[in-house]
Structures are given as structure tokens and as C-alpha cells.
């Protein structure tokens, strides 16, 4: 909790620390110790300030001399005394700086999000991505119904049906359930609700031929196999052979019998024989910023160069594999990120260069709730709605 919290709130903690300093602390280890203390003072109500301060001063004294120990002690006491009256940037006149500090995100990212989605959506995304993430499981419907599974999960885990996926259950404690025989015997997988929605939007049918172009470690491949009732063929391709080997572990556990793996670069994937796919999923490599809730370090580690590089890989993969779909077939593009460059812009570029594809929103009636989340361009973007999911962007194209 303290490690994740300190990483998550780093920008805000640093800002608060600097309010009480005349010059920056050069030693990064001393700064980190201070941030750990400030996190507990500002965000952990379960620990009284005096205990957080004592523990942090103790921590400082293990590595540093008395001078540093006294500095840590004095600064944390000052922050604790003044914590209700900290002087934040003005929300009206300096909105993006305020949001960057108050919600703790790099300012470049806040500026980008405001530019792409507006202030209100950006605020929602910031709040949602700072929440503690609940684990979600995907029930293997070939083995058990969701309602039956709900009965088998201990009430300590507070199981609760997901709102949009018809096979998901939120739980409080994934570690308890992951050690159970239910997991070993393939009754469920761990998968966020928004990630489950990807394969639901692909809507594969029993007997079809499906390509999962960036498929390792196989979470969605296996969901697709479950939806196809293990009838038909799925080719799971990935450039990373080590990750690809993980696919086989899960197909065995879940009893998916229709999956073949191939190690290839989807940017130049071709098939010698004249195979055409009914459905293709491009769950592309991306900056992952929609999973900040689970991986708060991502917000400090990514930059626009990464995003632009990924964007050209994504368009390269989409352009190439879309050639392999049948006329009338479906290509779904998905990424767990919230950057226009990796989301809407990739789709626009794809549609501009591939005039034989349209956006397709004809999901079956059973997915009516998902349909309601599509925006006016027909794109699905989970985080704009504060639904406690990871941030996923999904587009469904049909070859005409
Ligand atoms: C978001 S992950 C896929 C997750 C997977 N669909 C699942 O649900 O388990 C993206 C994957 O794309 C793979 N990848 C990256 N570049 C690729 C390329 N040029 N061709 C094929 N796979 C690629 C990565 O190795 C990674 O496994």
C-alpha cells in the first residue's frame, strides 16, 4: 500500500514537500524517504501522523546521519501541522497545473488529455485511475454458469457481477481464489472487465476461423475459444516467443483445444496457403496508460516519443493483418491506453488508407449495455465513464 501509494501520488507529494523547502533536495534517497512519510500523512488515515513521522525518521536514521534525521523530522512535522492549508495551484486560472498536482499526473499528460478529451473527462479519468483496483475474474462458461460460480466464491471476497461483461465477477481478494482448485481446474481466469469486453465485441462464433494477431499471453485468445465453444480454429500470433509459450499453459488449464500458436511479426505476417479469417483481433502493443490503476509507475515512465513509436507499430500491424480477413469479416482493434495518437488517430488513418473497411456497430442484442458505451464515431472507450474498469479503447471494423 505504501509503495504503490507513494508512486501513485509522487507529483503531489513532491509539490507539497517543495512548499516547505527553500531549495530542492539533491539526494534522491532522502527525497524518497520524505515522500513515503508525506504519503502516509496526507493519504493514510489508518496511521496517525505521529506514528508515520516516527517510522519515517527511523528509516532515515538507518542510512543517514543525525543532520538528515533531524531534517526529515522537522519537515514532516511542519507538513503534518499545515496539511489542511496547503497552497495548491489555482484551479480556475492554472487548471492543468492544478490537476497535475491535485491528481498527481505529469503535466504533459494532463495537457494532452485536456486537449483530446476536455477538462471534465480528464478529471474523471484521473480520479478513476487513482482508485484502488478491484480484481475481476472471467468465468469459463464452457464449464460453469456465472450464477453458479457466484455461489462458489466465498462471501469474504465480496463477489459482484460485472455490469457490461456477461461473464465477469468482481472480487476483493484475488489471491484467495487463485489458490483454489476452481482456478487450477480452469473455471475462471483473472481479467479486467474492459479487457473481457474486447472479445465480446469481436463476437466470434463456433466454427469460425479467428486470428489473434498480438495474442500472448493468451488471455483474450482463451476467452475467444470459450465464446466459440471450442469449435473452429484460432491462430494466436505474437512476436515474443517467450510470451507465446505462456499461451499453452493457459489453454491447457482452461481446456481450449482449438488454439494454434505462431511466432511472427504481425506487421509482415503472411500465410502461404490461402487462409482467410472470419474475425481478426489486433490487441496491439501500447503505452498501457489505461492500466495506471494497477501500474502507477507507467505515468512517470512513458513519454510522447514512446507513444508516437507505438502508434506507427499499431498502424503497421492493423494495415497488414486486415488484408487477411474475408469480405464481410470483422477486424477488432484494441489497446489498453487513453492516448488519441494510439486510439482514434490509428483508426482514422486505417480507415483513410483502407476504403474497403467501415466502422461496424452491429453487436448482438445481448451486448446492448456495451453498445450504449460507444461514442458517436462508434468507438468504445471505457474510462470516460467512470465505471471502475481499466481504460480500454476498442474499434470494430467490417470489410466491405
Ligand atoms: C497487449 S499485449 C497482448 C495481450 C493479449 N492479447 C492477451 O489478451 O493476453 C500486446 C502483445 O503484442 C506483442 N507484439 C508486439 N509487437 C508485435 C508485432 N509486431 N507482431 C506481433 N505481436 C507483437 C507483444 O509481445 C505483446 O504480447
Confidence at residue 386, expressed as pLDDT on a 0 to 100 scale: 59
Q: What is the pLDDT of residue 381?
A: 87
Torsion of CA 151, 152, 156, 162, to 10 degrees: -60
Number of Cβ within a 10 Å radius of residue 295: 16
Q: What is the distance between the alpha carbons of residues 29 and 27, in angstroms, rounded to a whole number?
A: 6
- Same structural domain, 213 and 321: yes
The best mutation among 192, 214, 253, 267 to test binding of ligand 1, ranked by most ligand atoms within 8 Å of the C-beta, falls on 214
Between the CA of 344 and the centroid of ligand 1 the distance, in Å, is: 19
CATH of residue 168's domain is 3.30.70
- Could you tell me the pLDDT band of residue 23, with boundaries at 50, 70 and 90? confident
pLDDT, position 120: 92
Asked if pLDDT for residue 359 goes beyond 80, the answer is yes
Judge whether residue 270 has pLDDT over 90.
Answer: no
- What ligand 1 atom has the least distance to the C-alpha of 269? 20
Residues 6 or more apart whose Cβ sits within 8 Å of residue 217: 243, 246, 247, 250
- DSSP letter at 26 equals -
Which of 51-55, 66-70, 151-155, 270-274 is least confident? Answer: 270-274
Nearest to 291 by CA among 393, 392, 162: 392
374 in a structural domain: yes
User: Does residue 90 belong to any structural domain of this protein?
Assistant: no
Output the pLDDT for position 170: 94
Q: Is the CB of 309 under 6 A from ligand 1?
A: no
Q: Name the DSSP class of 180.
A: S
Q: Say yes or no: 251 and 362 in one domain.
A: yes
Domain boundary among 85, 108, 143: 85
Q: What would the mean pLDDT of 81-97 be, rounded to a whole number?
A: 95
The verdict on 198 and 284 lying in the same domain is yes
Work out the average pLDDT over 194-221.
97
Residue 273 has pLDDT above 80, yes or no: no
For the ranges 90-94, 159-163, 267-271, 329-333, which has the lowest average pLDDT? Answer: 267-271
The stretches of the chain forming alpha helices (DSSP H) are 2-8, 10-19, 28-43, 49-63, 66-82, 95-102, 107-130, 146-152, 174-178, 181-184, 193-202, 219-227, 241-254, 298-301, 304-321, 344-353, 368-371
**Is ligand 1 within 6 A of the CB of residue 342?**
no
CATH number at residue 357: 3.40.50.150
Tell whether 6 is covered by a domain: yes
296 Cβ inside 6 Å of ligand 1: no
Ligand 1 nearest atom to the CA of residue 316, by list position:
19
Summarize the confidence of residues 360-376 as an average pLDDT: 85
Does the active-site annotation cover 126? no
Does the CB atom of residue 303 touch ligand 1 within 6 A?
no
C-alpha closest to that of 170 among 157, 178, 159: 159
Q: Active site residue: 16, 236, 237, 336, which one?
A: 336
- Give yes or no: residues 124 and 140 share one domain: no
The residue with cell 515474443 is 240
Looking at the structure, do residues 261 and 303 belong to the same domain, yes or no? yes
Confidence of residue 388 (pLDDT cuts 50, 70, 90): confident
pLDDT at 173: 78
Assess whether 351 and 227 both reside in one domain: yes
Asked if 182 and 324 sit in the same domain, the reply is no
Tell whether ligand 1 has an atom less than 6 A from the beta carbon of residue 77.
no
Q: Is 14 in the pocket of ligand 1 (CB under 6 A)?
A: no
Of ligand 1's listed atoms, the one at least distance from the Cα of 336 is: 1
- Ligand 1 touching residue 288 (CB < 6 A): no
pLDDT band at 384 (very low <50, low <70, confident <90, very high): low
What percentage of the chain carries pLDDT values higher than 70? 98
Among protein residues, the one with the nearest Cα to ligand 1's atom 2 is 285
Mean pLDDT of 201-224: 98
**Would you say the CB of residue 219 lies under 6 angstroms from ligand 1?**
yes
Find, among 287, 388, 281, the residue nearest to 336 by Cα: 287
252 and 215 part of one domain: yes
Query: Considering only 189-198, 252-261, 382-391, which range has the smallest mean pLDDT?
Result: 382-391
Q: What pLDDT score does 385 carry?
A: 59
pLDDT at 366: 83
Cα of 235 vs centre of ligand 1, distance in Å, is 13
The protein residue whose alpha carbon is closest to atom 25 in ligand 1 is 240
Beta bridge partners of 138: 168, 189
Residue 393's pLDDT is what? 95
The domain tally of the chain equals: 4
What is the structure's pLDDT at 199? 97
Residues 259 and 224 in one domain: yes
Separation between Cα atoms, residue 221 and residue 237, nearest integer Å: 10
The verdict on the CB of residue 278 being under 6 Å from ligand 1 is no
Same domain, yes or no: 148 and 53: no
Atom of ligand 1 nearest to the CA of 223: 8
Report yes or no: 170 and 160 within 8 Å, Cβ to Cβ: yes
| For ligand 1, atom 15: residue with the closest CA | 285
Is 197's pLDDT higher than 70?
yes
Domain match, 280 and 206 both: yes
* Mean pLDDT within 104-125: 95
In sequence order, the β-bridge partners of residue 170 are 136, 160
166 alpha carbon to ligand 1 midpoint, in Å?
25
Give the range of the structural domain holding residue 45, as residue numbers without chain letter.
Answer: 2-85
Residues 78, 99, single domain; the answer is no
Amino acid at each position: 500500500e505504501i509503495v504503490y501509494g507513494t508512486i501513485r501520488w509522487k507529483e503531489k507529494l513532491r509539490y507539497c514537500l517543495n512548499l516547505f523547502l527553500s531549495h530542492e533536495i539533491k539526494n534522491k534517497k532522502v527525497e524518497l524517504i520524505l515522500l513515503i512519510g508525506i504519503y502516509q500523512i496526507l493519504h493514510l488515515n489508518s496511521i496517525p501522523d505521529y506514528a508515520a513521522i516516527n517510522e519515517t525518521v527511523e528509516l532515515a536514521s538507518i542510512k543517514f546521519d543525525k543532520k538528515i534525521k533531524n531534517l526529515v523530522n522537522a519537515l514532516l512535522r511542519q507538513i503534518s501541522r499545515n496539511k489542511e492549508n496547503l497552497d495548491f495551484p489555482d484551479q480556475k486560472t492554472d487548471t492543468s497545473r492544478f490537476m497535475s498536482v491535485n491528481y498527481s499526473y505529469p503535466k504533459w499528460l494532463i495537457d494532452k488529455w485536456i486537449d483530446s478529451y476536455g477538462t471534465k473527462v480528464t478529471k474523471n479519468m484521473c480520479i478513476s485511475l487513482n482508485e484502488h483496483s478491484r480484481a475481476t475474474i472471467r468465468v469459463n462458461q464452457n464449464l460453469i454458469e456465472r450464477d453458479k460460480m457466484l455461489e462458489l466464491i466465498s462471501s469474504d471476497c465480496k463477489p459482484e457481477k460485472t455490469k457490461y461483461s456477461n461473464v465477469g465477477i468482481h472480487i476483493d481478494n484475488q489471491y484467495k481464489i487463485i489458490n483454489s482448485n476452481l482456478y487450477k481446474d480452469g473455471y475462471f481466469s483473472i481479467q479486467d472487465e474492459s479487457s473481457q469486453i474486447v472479445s465480446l465485441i469481436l463476437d466470434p462464433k463456433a466454427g469460425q476461423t479467428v486470428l489473434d494477431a498480438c495474442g500472448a499471453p493468451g488471455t483474450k485468445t482463451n476467452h475467444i475459444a470459450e465464446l466459440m465453444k471450442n469449435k473452429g480454429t484460432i491462430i494466436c500470433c505474437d512476436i515474443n516467443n517467450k510470451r507465446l509459450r505462456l499461451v499453452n499453459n493457459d489453454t491447457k488449464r482452461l481446456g481450449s483445444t482449438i488454439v494454434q500458436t505462431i511466432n511472427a511479426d504481425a506487421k509482415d505476417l503472411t500465410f502461404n496457403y490461402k487462409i482467410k479469417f472470419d474475425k481478426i483481433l489486433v490487441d496491439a502493443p501500447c503505452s498501457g496508460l489505461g492500466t495506471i490503476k494497477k501500474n502507477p509507475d507507467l505515468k512517470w515512465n512513458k513519454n510522447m516519443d514512446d507513444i508516437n513509436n507505438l502508434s506507427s507499430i499499431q498502424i503497421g500491424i492493423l494495415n497488414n493483418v486486415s488484408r487477411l480477413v474475408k469480405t464481410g469479416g470483422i477486424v477488432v482493434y484494441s489497446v489498453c491506453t487513453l492516448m488519441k495518437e494510439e486510439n482514434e488517430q490509428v483508426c482514422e488513418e486505417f480507415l483513410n488508407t483502407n476504403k474497403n473497411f467501415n466502422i461496424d456497430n452491429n453487436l448482438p442484442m445481448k451486448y446492448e449495455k456495451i453498445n450504449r458505451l460507444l461514442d458517436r464515431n462508434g468507438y468504445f472507450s471505457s474510462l470516460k465513464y467512470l465505471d471502475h474498469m481499466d481504460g480500454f479503447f476498442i474499434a470494430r471494423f467490417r470489410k466491405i
